Amino acid sequence: MIDLRNKNFTRRILSKIPLILLFVSVLNNYDFNYLGLKYFSFNFSYIIIFYYSLKKSESLGYTYIFIAGLFNDVIVGTPMGLSSLMYLILCVAASYLRNITLRPSLLKDCIFFLITILIINSLLFISLNFIFNYELSYFDQIINITYTFLFYFLFSNIFDFFESYFVGSNNAG
């Protein structure tokens, strides 16, 4: 009985890991600047939000995603609510893809993810540049999108592995 309770407790903790990862990623803002790589950046938050909204929407929760967006705005210094809006649009896209998908495939997910982040970054670029008068490097955005897209393959597999071996959920994959 105690063993069963312990297992449930561990599973509950493990199920919260995506949420913890999301908040750590927005608060810490993984930039890997110290590596000294000039043309390298990726958006881990986009990957985790898209993956979990698509595969296991109950793991993150839209309200937490909204709050994470607010935190990201504070850290990055963008107008309050902008990142939340982008994260939520990402959730809408993931939710739409989930609704129309009958047979999930990683390649289709990736292509849809690429289209979504292209739209999101375009919206972000337009709103920051033309409405809020922020200077953004177009080239840096392209680099960010490219690496975010490429890393989706890697992280998607890592999350799949994590969900099937540690959390043991049937929803993943």
**Of 1 and 35, which has the nearer Cβ to other proteins?**
35
Amino acid at 138: Y
Q: How far apart are the first and last CA of the chain?
A: 31
Angle between helix 2-15 and helix 17-28 axes, rounded to 10 deg: 30
**Residue of 51, 95, 49, 54 whose CA lies nearest to 69:** 49
The yes or no reply on residue 81 touching other proteins (CB under 8 A) is yes
**Of 153 and 155, which has the nearer Cβ to other proteins?**
155
The yes or no reply on residue 70 touching other proteins (CB under 8 A) is yes
**Of 70 and 146, which has the nearer Cβ to other proteins?**
70
The yes or no reply on residue 27 touching other proteins (CB under 8 A) is yes
CA distance 151 to 154: 5
Closest approach, Cβ 139 to other proteins, in A, equals 25
CB-based contact 145:118 (threshold 8 Å): yes
The residues of the shown chain that bind other proteins, judged by CB under 8 A, are: 23-24, 27-28, 30, 34-35, 57-58, 61-63, 66, 69-71, 74-75, 79-82, 84-85, 88-89, 91-93, 95-96, 98-100, 132
